Amino acid sequence: MHCPSCQTHDTKVIDSRLLQEGANVRRRRKCDSCGHRFTTYEKFEVHFPTILKRDGRRENFNPKKIMGGLEKAFQKRPISTDNIENILSSLETFLLQLGQKEYHSEQIGTFLMNKINELDTVAFVRFASFYWNYDNIDSFVKGLTNQALKFNRLSSVD
């Protein structure tokens, strides 16, 4: 680290402290040449993967966009905001642990559908309605019935 006083390359770390639940590090440093003391802050940078959309486009992972969809699905449902945030957090952890540079949007959608279905079947149906992007009610009912069997949690839809 360069000394801000004399521009020497060789500085010594005197003290390090974690800030914001370990997301940042504060370091007190001392220059061996001039004795100047200064503080540096380090922030961990996370690079999320690119998302391959159904139409072939590539998009950067956008947690705000996903959170918006989750909030719509759980609107007026008896599920806490913490539970909704935990779904997003578990998705982020899942993506980072696998370590791939790209994911298909279907992988993310399936992951989210499983998590939503565990918490609330009404939110599952709501999320499905805009995630699967059906053109009419009949195709939605057929698709939902097929997915209900797949997810094995919803009762059959008449």
- One digit per residue, the tens of pLDDT, for the chain of length 158 reads 889 999 988 899 999 988 766 678 999 999 999 999 999 988 877 778 899 998 899 999 998 999 999 999 999 999 998 899 999 989 988 888 888 889 998 889 889 988 998 898 889 888 887 777 777 778 777 777 776 666 654 444 44
- Provide DSSP, 77-115: SS--HHHHHHHHHHHHHHHHHH--SEEEHHHHHHHHHHH
Nearest to 112, CA basis, from 131, 98, 97, 140:
131
Q: How far apart are CA 19 and CA 13, in angstroms?
A: 16
Phi, psi of 59 (to 5 degrees): -130, 150
The string of pLDDT tens digits covering residues 113-152 is 889 988 988 898 888 877 777 777 787 777 777 766 666 5
pLDDT of residue 138: 80
pLDDT of residue 158: 40
The pTM assigned to this predicted structure is: 0.62
Phi, psi of 80 (to 5 degrees): -70, 155
Q: How far apart are CA 18 and CA 83, in angstroms?
A: 27
